[in-house]
């Protein structure tokens, strides 16, 4: 799975002009399932995200996790993170999970996040979404998690 995390002061997702997910301080989690990903990979990625120390402590050092600061998660599916542009100017998305499998893994990730963290909002899988955010820092971190070979 691929994710791009953005530490935010606020973020929201709109579908058809309506806000469907919104957070204040926390992490915007742009999430992409790739071919071969499993629920175990999603769980491993979520564990990393919840413990990742990307928020500042009193000394200004990135020593605190989203859990430590009581921040929220806004999880948004984004298959375009699997884009391969090495063959030309039009991205190929062949490494992205098939839509049914991508939805299953996205929903698994969200369910696990809600079970482990009290503040989780989402986008809408496969919708045309408008994502707004105020990146805090800016702090933007890409993570790729794969199943063990």
In CATH, what number does 2-133 get?
3.50.80.10
Asked if 9 contacts 136 with a C-beta cutoff of 8 angstroms, the reply is yes
Mean pLDDT, the chain, whole residue set: 97
What average pLDDT does this structure show over 52-79?
A: 97
The model's pLDDT over 66-118, given as tens digits with 9 standing for 90+, comes to 999 999 999 999 999 999 999 999 999 999 999 999 999 999 999 999 999 99
Is-catalytic flag, 79? yes
- Mean pLDDT of the region 46-65: 97
3-class DSSP assignment, residue 93:
coil
Please pick, among 78, 112, 121, 122, the residue that the annotation labels catalytic: 78
Q: Is 125 a catalytic residue?
A: no
Cβ pair 116, 46 in contact under 8 A: yes
| pLDDT, tens digit, 9 for 90 and up, residues 28-45 | 999 999 999 999 999 999
Single out the catalytic residue among 6, 79, 112, 122.
79
**Could you tell me the pLDDT band of residue 147, with boundaries at 50, 70 and 90?**
confident
pLDDT of residue 67: 98
Give backbone dihedrals phi and psi of 61, rounded to 5 degrees, phi first: -95, 145
Q: What is the mean pLDDT of the segment spanning 111-132? A: 98
User: Active-site residue 78, yes or no?
Assistant: yes
Interatomic CA distance for residues 69 and 110, integer angstroms: 20
pLDDT of amino acid 148: 74
The predicted model scores a pTM of 0.96
Contact criterion met (CB below 8 Å) for 5 and 133: no
Percent of the chain with pLDDT over 90: 96
Q: Report the distance separating Cα 53 and Cα 62, nearest Å.
A: 6
pLDDT of 134 > 70? The answer is: yes
Q: What is the mean pLDDT of residues 7-19?
A: 98
pLDDT at 149: 65
Q: CA-to-CA distance for 148 and 33, rounded, in angstroms? A: 15
């Amino acid at each position: 799975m691929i994710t791009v995390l953005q530490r935010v002061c606020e973020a929201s997702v709109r579908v058809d002009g309506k806000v469907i997910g919104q957070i204040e301080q926390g992490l915007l989690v742009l999430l992409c399932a790739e071919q071969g990903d499993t629920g175990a990979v999603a769980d491993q990625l979520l564990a990393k995200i919840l413990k990742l120390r990307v928020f500042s402590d009193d000394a200004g050092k990135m020593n605190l996790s989203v859990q430590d600061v009581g921040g929220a998660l806004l999880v948004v599916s984004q298959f375009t993170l699997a884009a391969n542009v090495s063959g030309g100017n039009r991205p190929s998305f062949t490494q992205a999970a098939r839509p049914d499998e991508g939805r299953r893994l996205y929903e698994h990730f969200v369910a696990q996040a809600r079970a482990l963290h009290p503040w989780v909002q989402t986008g809408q899988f496969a919708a045309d979404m408008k994502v707004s955010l105020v990146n805090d820092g800016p702090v933007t971190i890409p993570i790729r998690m794969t199943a063990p070979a």
